[in-house]
Amino acid sequence: MTPRWTDDRAFYAVLALLLGHELDAVARHEWRLLPVLRSLPDGVAGRLFVALHVPLCLSLFALDASSSDRTRRRFRLAVDAFAVVHAGLHVWFGDHPDDEFDAPSSRLLIHGAAAAGLLHGLLSMRNGERS
């Protein structure tokens, strides 16, 4: 039996936590922290923030469904790295006046995704899944 089952579940935890964070990000006006979107009126920026997630999610799902094992492995490791860097950015910008991610549930989603990303990355490396 291959170790892929465990690796898949760890990766899906990363993805689920990141997607949960993006739902939370709408409620917490994350676009107010993003360089281009913060310059737009709030209503426009919010709608654009949501609209941009459609092609983003489509791309995520397409890359994970790639028939190329190499593409899928690289994509998953990139998502793992993003989850860790993303958590670091939220810590870095935690004192920003427009940061509304101070709720325990928000922090759980952000840092949970980072922890799951580290776990998945380590499992992938342990199981020899290198690009």
3-state SS, 55-81, equals: HHHHHHHHHHCCCCHHHHHHHHHHHHH
Segment 6-27, tens digit of pLDDT: 678 899 999 999 999 999 999 9
pLDDT digits (tens, 9 = 90+) for 61-90: 999 999 999 999 999 999 999 999 999 999
Chain CA centroid to CA 55, Å: 14
* Model confidence pTM above 0.85: yes
In residues, how long is the chain? 131
